[in-house]
Chains A and B, each alone.
Chain A
């Protein structure tokens, strides 16, 4: 995956560059809005990570300009503002995801990976499969090794989101945002409790674990047997 980071804080950019490279992601860096717009127009990237406040052209105007030029590379907005309304304006300007500063790198990485693979995501697939687990989005049924598992509606949506992003780390905040549509801090480990309930339902009678906890980051659906 190749991404472009538009960030004027050079130290932060250097840190991000190093961390992304260690995660196996190739990246370019632009330190102001104009050069960011130039790079994003000239080259092809999988994801753009754009700081909101930039010299020469601010992040939101960069995104609107890109969209105007019919470039639809997914954009993740980084912002020190981080209030509910700022997120709304960010997404309205054409951003695809929004992460308030300060953030954990694992959160950023997880979101960038999900955005970067979005193009290949089987959005239209009616059945998701991970190992012997099957989720049918039409009939709202879940089977493992042919045996039906009964889930609550919310558990179904949780599993659906995890399976859609199988093989990728999904953070707690991403789950809260995408499954519950909440963008606030629930204070306690509500998500963990929901995930562990789901896990017990889909793994209880089976040897092979499918839902891994990624320490310090979140969760990942993966067929361990398949490697």
Chain B
């Protein structure tokens, strides 16, 4: 019993149930009003009918008296009284004394007035001996030309009965309605409760750490499904972020430990040496160099995860991509020249995108830096930076003619710390392309890798395109 009560309480707390209770109440009020209205309308209709009937009969009786005199009147009344469900007839003297009629007793005072009785009155018929078995009636009283009074009345049992019937019908209707509502209420509420329970069960499993779990959907596309779907999308994003975080920690464990070990080895080797000041200095400088590289890797990693998490500079504003492209070409051009390369660009003027200048600059810088690194010594000195609009998109590309990246490796090199074996000897963190990729994703765009000269046998070159949707968001 207590459990049932508890369940009912829980049921009551559900929104569906509260809403249906409210509807039930409103409906009941409307129904009651309707029934009241219908009853009062039909009552007045009935009364009108009664009055008309009584008035017609009264007129007939007056006519009978006028034509056939007292005897005719008495005969007519007698005949009428015998009919089943007859009206009440009384002939009384001018002083109110009952002379004839089919009524045994009458509420006193009824015969004193003339015309319609103001209120229903009690009466008793001859056949009914029991004094309690009284009826209510209304009547019209007329004065005949010889001074006698004639009362023609009609029993009110009929409208009274009708009222009782209507009241009963109302009760039954309300009862059925209430029971139905309760049943629907219970079914809907229980259904909602069950689905809620399933959802909270699933979310508990998720909270316990199983991020691959998803909330159940019924496939009906209702509110619960829509809620589950958006929560599932959210979970997907959280899972992706979580994976990213795990990947970063794995990478930190793996790829930061190597340089740290190198760093430690160098310091140890210096300590084990014979201690000439110059050796120490050289060793310390190497150690600082190593730690700078470590910091650089670390910063790049953090930046990637921040960018991927989408919490990187929310400051997305209109930026002059043409300016960034020109500045970057100008910034790197001398370095390229020093490496025996030619860095040149074709930059459309006035290209604006919504974004973060620093991040886009960093991404482009990484691409140019890569191009310089890999084109150097390949015998193909040309590096081209191109900014152009292609349909709705804005494409900023860096093309070199170096060794390029084999087609099957192109997806890999964008991943963190992935460096092709041939490039392990080059300086770098292995994060440049990953950062560029993350930055592009943050700007609603993507990175495309392609061969610059697909027709060649070797030195096919690499073209990296940063594709921005013209005006995201």
Contact with A along B318-348 (1 / 0, CB 8 A): 0000000001001110110010000000000
Question: CB distance B335 to A83 under 8 Å?
Answer: no
A27 to B383, CA, bound (A): 50
Question: CB distance B365 to A184 under 8 Å?
Answer: yes
Contact with A along B281-317 (1 / 0, CB 8 A): 0000100100110011001101100100000111100
Given contacts A84-B313, A85-B315, contact A187 B331 (CB under 8 A): no
Question: CB distance A85 to B331 under 8 Å?
Answer: no
Residues of A within 8 A of B361 (CB): 182, 184
Contact with B along A153-197 (1 / 0, CB 8 A): 010000000000000000000000000101111111110011001
Given contacts A184-B362, A185-B362, contact A85 B335 (CB under 8 A): no
Question: CB distance A180 to B327 under 8 Å?
Answer: yes
Residues of A within 8 A of B20 (CB): none
| Given A83-B302, A84-B356: 7 more A-B contacts, CB < 8 Å | A82-B302, A83-B312, A84-B312, A183-B358, A185-B362, A187-B366, A197-B334
Question: CB distance A180 to B362 under 8 Å?
Answer: no
Question: CB distance A84 to B372 under 8 Å?
Answer: no
Question: CB distance B314 to A194 under 8 Å?
Answer: no
A10 within 8 A of B: no
B179 to chain A, nearest CB (A): 63
A214 within 8 A of B: no
Residues of A within 8 A of B291 (CB): 102
Closest to A103 in B: B295
Residues of A within 8 A of B372 (CB): 188
Given contacts A102-B295, A190-B334, contact A85 B369 (CB under 8 A): no
Of B292, B295, B315, B365, the contact of A186 (CB 8 Å cutoff): B365
Residues of B within 8 A of A184 (CB): 358, 361-362, 365
B432 within 8 A of A: yes
Question: CB distance A193 to B338 under 8 Å?
Answer: yes
Question: CB distance B315 to A88 under 8 Å?
Answer: yes
Count how many pairs of residues, one from A and one from B, have CB atoms less than 8 Å apart in the complex.
67
Seen from chain A, the residues whose Cβ lies within 8 Å of a Cβ on chain B are 82-85, 88, 100, 102, 104, 154, 180, 182-190, 193-194, 197, 216
Closest to A191 in B: B331
A-B CB contact pairs (8 Å), 30 listed: A84-B356, A84-B358, A84-B359, A85-B314, A85-B315, A88-B313, A100-B299, A102-B291, A154-B330, A182-B331, A182-B358, A182-B361, A182-B365, A183-B358, A184-B361, A184-B362, A185-B296, A185-B299, A185-B362, A186-B331, A186-B332, A187-B365, A187-B428, A187-B432, A188-B372, A190-B335, A193-B334, A193-B338, A194-B331, A194-B334
Given contacts A184-B362, A186-B369, A193-B335, contact A83 B432 (CB under 8 A): no
Residues of A within 8 A of B330 (CB): 154
Question: CB distance B332 to A190 under 8 Å?
Answer: yes
Closest to B362 in A: A184
Of A85, A187, A193, A216, the contact of B312 (CB 8 Å cutoff): A85
The B351-367 residues at the A interface (CB cut-off 8 A) are: 356, 358-359, 361-362, 365-366
Question: CB distance A187 to B356 under 8 Å?
Answer: no
Residues of B within 8 A of A188 (CB): 332, 335, 369, 372
Seen from chain B, the residues whose Cβ lies within 8 Å of a Cβ on chain A are 285, 288, 291-292, 295-296, 299-300, 302-303, 306, 312-315, 327, 330-332, 334-335, 338, 356, 358-359, 361-362, 365-366, 369, 372, 428, 432
B373 to chain A, nearest CB (A): 8
A183 to B330, CA, bound (A): 16
Residues of A within 8 A of B356 (CB): 84
Across the A-B interface, give the 5 residue pairs with the lowest CB-CB distance, nearest first.
Answer: A85-B313, A184-B362, A193-B334, A187-B369, A84-B358
Closest to A87 in B: B358
Closest to A195 in B: B334
Question: CB distance A83 to B369 under 8 Å?
Answer: no
A176 to B83, CA, bound (A): 120
A190 to B432, CA, bound (A): 16
Closest to B338 in A: A193
Given contacts A184-B361, A184-B365, contact A189 B312 (CB under 8 A): no
A182 to B327, CA, bound (A): 10
User: By CB atoms of chain B within 10 A, which of A104, A187, A216 has the most?
Assistant: A187
Of A82, A100, A190, the contact of B331 (CB 8 Å cutoff): A190
B23 to chain A, nearest CB (A): 51
B359 to chain A, nearest CB (A): 7
Residues of A within 8 A of B292 (CB): 104
A160 to B246, CA, bound (A): 47
Question: CB distance B296 to A83 under 8 Å?
Answer: no
Closest to B300 in A: A185
A183 to B359, CA, bound (A): 9
A29 to chain B, nearest CB (A): 25
Residues of A within 8 A of B295 (CB): 102
Residues of A within 8 A of B306 (CB): 83
A131 to B398, CA, bound (A): 43
A64 to B369, CA, bound (A): 39
Residues of A within 8 A of B315 (CB): 85, 88
B409 to chain A, nearest CB (A): 21
A85 to B306, CA, bound (A): 11
A190 to B361, CA, bound (A): 14
Closest to B327 in A: A180
A182 to B288, CA, bound (A): 24
A102 to B295, CA, bound (A): 7
A183 to B357, CA, bound (A): 10
Of A88, A185, A189, the contact of B335 (CB 8 Å cutoff): A189
A152 to chain B, nearest CB (A): 8
Residues of A within 8 A of B365 (CB): 182, 184, 186-187
Residues of A within 8 A of B366 (CB): 187
